[in-house]
Amino acid sequence: MRMGSRKTAYQTFVLLIVLIVSSTATWAQAAFDQIQADRYFAATNYRLYPDTITTPQTPPPAGKHPFYISHYGRHGSRYMGSRKAYLTPLEILQKGYKAKKLTQLGLDLRKLLANIIHDTHGHWGDLSALGHQQNRDIARRMMQNYPEVFEGDAHIQARSTTISRCMLSMGSALLQLKSMNPQLQVDMDATHEDMWYLNFQDKQLRDSMMTRKAKQAFDKYCNPRKHNRRLMDLIFTDTAFVKQNIDDYWLNYYLLKTDHVQLNTKSYDKVRLADLFTLEDLYLFWQYENVWWYICYGPSLLNGGSQPYTQRHLLRRLIQDADSCLTLNKPGVQLRYGHDTIILPLVCLLGLNGYDFQTEDLEEVEKHGWWVSDIIPMAANLQFVFYREHPQDQDVIFKILLNEKEATLPIPTDIAPYYHWRDFREFYLKKLDAYEVR
Amino acid sequence: MQKVLLLAAFITITTVTNAQSARQEIRRNQRFSASTYMAYPTPRTSLTPAPKGKHPFFISHYGRSGSRYHSKMKNYDTPWEVLSKADSLGKLTPLGRDVLQRVALIRQEANNRWHELTPLGHQQEQQIAQRMVERFPEVFEGNAEIDARSMVFLRSIMSMESALLQLVTLRPQLQISHEASLSDKSFMNSSDYRLKKTRNDSIALLQFRKFVSKHPTNHRFLKKLFNDMNYVRQHVDIEEFSDLMFKLATNQQNTKLSSQVTLFDIFSHQEIYTNWRKDNVWWYVNYGAWPQNGGTQPYTQRRLLRKIITDTDEFMLTGRHGAHLRYGDDVVVMPLICLLDLNGLGLVTNNLESLESKGWVDYRVLPMAANIQFVFYRTDPQDQEVLFKVLLNEKEATLPLPADRYPYYRWSDFREYYLKKLDAYGK
């Protein structure tokens, strides 16, 4: 019964808007091209894990074999974190409904949002089925790409933050590995004892994300981009009413977020809002989301440029863990499961792929290729894959994969994309020391 | 004839166990006094073979999480602070100073791990899962369907994950789904406002306190730890300190230090027994069918029981084999056991003194990792007479149903009896 009425509502909805939305893209920027190719590139941290993209793996220098992998991964696709996030757009529409200012499309949209709220009840923050699958697939590829590391009774140490979607992501990855090699020795834990490095919240740095200067720059960048009059005209019958009563910025924002998360929860076939938005809408949304992430978790100079150092404990821990693992004959794998707000600053701290790019001019962020969607889609992950000839080999090398693609570091190397571990240690320990003795 | 003998033997064994009083059991093994903090005892009993011609095809399981640390920092900090302060003022005996060191070790191990599983907890879950596969291999054959759900609690989720890792180690082809979602709260961990309110109403509290004051522990252990009882009376919250020290002592069996550090030596047998009795009565008052607060507390789990029934019915129709694994909490398992009247634990009595003699003894029921498993049998998916048995902590248990095929019961009898029971409550 419910399903039937939902379907009808949806069909009407699609019919109405197909006529209205047209693509008039004339943007030249590359990020826009990305969105044109895949509109969900605009979803920033709600982007689906791009596991359809496969890149070739460079063979290691002769004689070197993979023997240890150190990983930090974000949980997979999930639902929005709170009921409020689902409720907000409906509440805004409700104002128009009460005042009888909704168009037919607005009325249909209201019903669709109510259905979404019903379907997602109690799932706030949950890992979705797709999220489980992403973690299984990443684990499977890890084992297929580096079978030597997972041979026989190889040791797998897995740690997760104490958030359920992270624990379940870890569980799914481990179930996949075990199903491929039941002999693996798995040591799994999720404890508050490990939160100091898995999910470190640096209160001082976090409180200073949005300095006055940063806020001014963000507002200046955001203001011309955040309004969506066209969308308001689709939903409401009265422009003056909208101007006085409707927060069009948040409505646009939450409708987009809702659409993006629907894809992650595979509810997309039932209810999708994508047709409400033009590619230009998506692009503008992506732009201000992108600089928001840049300011809050990236290396922005607007707030002092130190935000990436929130993850100094994690980086030091990764180095210490690797150092102790290198002394073992068969160290195996260390898997860690956490969050976007950890992995993004870590990537910037490492200066991976040039993501340590610093500027005060927010217009430069996009141009310089600092695109958050490439860094923290759902299930985003970093993998350090270590190689040596034999356990006594003094020249341990590694490569680093961002979302399973070979990435570059700002340190010299004669064996790219591989690096010498001793160079890495020296460079980053010095960097961390310099920050900590400030 | 053989069956009769088996049954007779079983009854004898059961009687012997029950005949041993809780006081004797605890005296023999102090760990029993831990009540629901008791570490899961590995089951030693063997199981009755499957009914002739039938095979197990489905297991429905609800278990509490495995061994864990205490849930609050305070459980560790308060005893340590009381002893440390007394020590700094020279108020501890040599034994008291030794105990302070032990408490410090215990506190250190649990630091930042409050309410989390201990390594033993993980191990219990793995072993329970392993025995499930070993005892009912048909259920886990090939690509059997495993649907696992957990409460959204760290320790429950980790219990589930540990069990699943063990299952997939033994049966790599299993099709496993696992969730931990508030959307399952209505049956995984349902709360009932009305029943919660009556649970500890004034009359119930009064009765409970009456029982406690009738059986005081006297706190003799304090004299062993402190050299100045005036100081203790003036500066120590005696009730709280005693309670927390006893809890530290009993939970110690679940930790990494269990074989190195004990606190049982500071308590007399009488203190240990009296403390346990208080806990046992507390569990009955809160989760048993105690008439004084309405006798309906077990009905907090009516939605879970209904869900078990409907899920089972649905699964049977699929023609598949597999298991539903549910990981939750002690405060769910206990009322569910009472609602099912498993092993007569639905006991209704006003007399709190009589719980032990009537076999209502919490450590036999609800240790860490306590679990209920319904194991279903049929000849084939068309079989109209589905049988099942129910295991409490992996031991065959009784239900108030026609028992002509004990330990097996007819699923149709179960459905009829319990759905009627639930419907009657609903009215």
pLDDT in tens, B255-312: 999 999 999 999 999 999 999 999 999 999 999 999 999 999 999 999 999 999 999 9
Mean pLDDT of B329-358: 97
Which site among A78, A123, A164 would you substitute to test the B interface, given the most B Cβ atoms closer than 10 Å to its Cβ?
Answer: A164
The verdict on ipTM greater than 0.90 is: yes
In tens, the pLDDT along B142-172 reads 999 999 999 999 999 999 999 999 999 999 9
Residue (of B247, B330, B320) closest to B283 by Cα position: B330
- To the nearest whole percent, how much of chain A has pLDDT over 90? 87
pLDDT at A438: 82
CB contact under 8 A, B112 and A189: no
The model's pTM is 0.93
For residue B378, which of B424, B288, B317, B332 has the smallest C-alpha distance? B317
* Cα separation, B35 vs B55, whole angstroms: 36
A167/B154 Cβ within 8 A: yes
**A178 lies within 8 A of chain B by CB:** yes
The CA–CA distances, whole Å, from B361 to A1, A362, B24, B263, B343 equal 50, 68, 13, 23, 11
Residue A291 identity (one-letter amino acid):
V
Q: Say which residues have a Cβ less than 8 Å from residue A409's Cβ, sequence separation at least 6.
A: A350, A351, A352, A400, A419, A424
Q: What is the mean pLDDT of chain B?
A: 94
Q: Where are the domains of chain B?
A: 2-68+116-206+270-426, 69-115+221-267
Architecture of domain B2-68+116-206+270-426: 3-Layer(aba) Sandwich (3.40)
CB atoms within 10 A of CB A422: 12
pLDDT-derived band at A271 (thresholds 50, 70, 90) equals low
CA torsion sign, B267 to B271 to B277 to B283?
Answer: negative
Q: Does B108 touch chain A (CB under 8 A)?
A: no
CB atoms within 10 A of CB A208: 14
pLDDT at position B19 is 52
Residue of B168, B185, B188 for testing the chain A interface, max A β-carbons within 10 Å: B168
Kindly state whether B152 is in contact with chain A, defined as any CB-CB distance less than 8 angstroms: yes
Contacts of A360 (CB under 8 A, 6+ apart): A217, A300, A301, A302
| pLDDT of the residue at A30 | 84
What average pLDDT does this structure show over A18-44?
70
Q: Just give the CATH number of A2-436.
A: 3.40.50.1240
How far apart CA B157 and CA B160 sit, in angstroms, is 5
Can you give the pLDDT at residue B217?
87
Assess whether pLDDT exceeds 50 at residue A15. Answer: no
Of B161, B172, B185, Cβ closest to residue A182? B172
Contacts of A174 in chain B (CB under 8 A): 161, 165
Q: In this model, does residue A7 exceed pLDDT 70? A: no
**A9 or A32, which is more confident:** A32
Looking at residue A23, what is its pLDDT?
37
Domains of chain A, residue spans: 2-436
Whether pLDDT at A14 is above 80: no
Q: Among A161-170, A238-247, B145-154, B182-191, name the one with the lowest average pLDDT.
A: B182-191
> Do B301 and B341 contact (CB within 8 A), yes or no?
no
Question: What stretch of H or E contains A420?
Answer: strand A419-420
Confidence tier at A270 by pLDDT (50, 70, 90)? low
pLDDT tier, B427 (very low <50, low <70, confident <90, very high otherwise) = confident
Amino acid at B188: M
B183 contacts in chain A (CB < 8 Å): 121-123, 126
Higher pLDDT, B190 or A418: A418
**pLDDT of B91 over the 60 cut:** yes
pLDDT higher than 60, residue A305? yes
User: Is the confidence at residue B372, as pLDDT, over 90?
Assistant: yes
At residue A390 the predicted structure's pLDDT band, cuts being 50, 70 and 90, is very high
Q: What is the average pLDDT value for chain A, to the nearest integer?
A: 92
Which pLDDT belongs to residue A5?
45
Residue partners of B78: CB distance under 8 A and separation at least 6 = B240, B241, B244
Q: Touching check for B179 and chain A: CB below 8 Å?
A: yes
Tell whether omega for the bond before B56 is within 30 degrees of 0, i.e. cis.
Answer: no
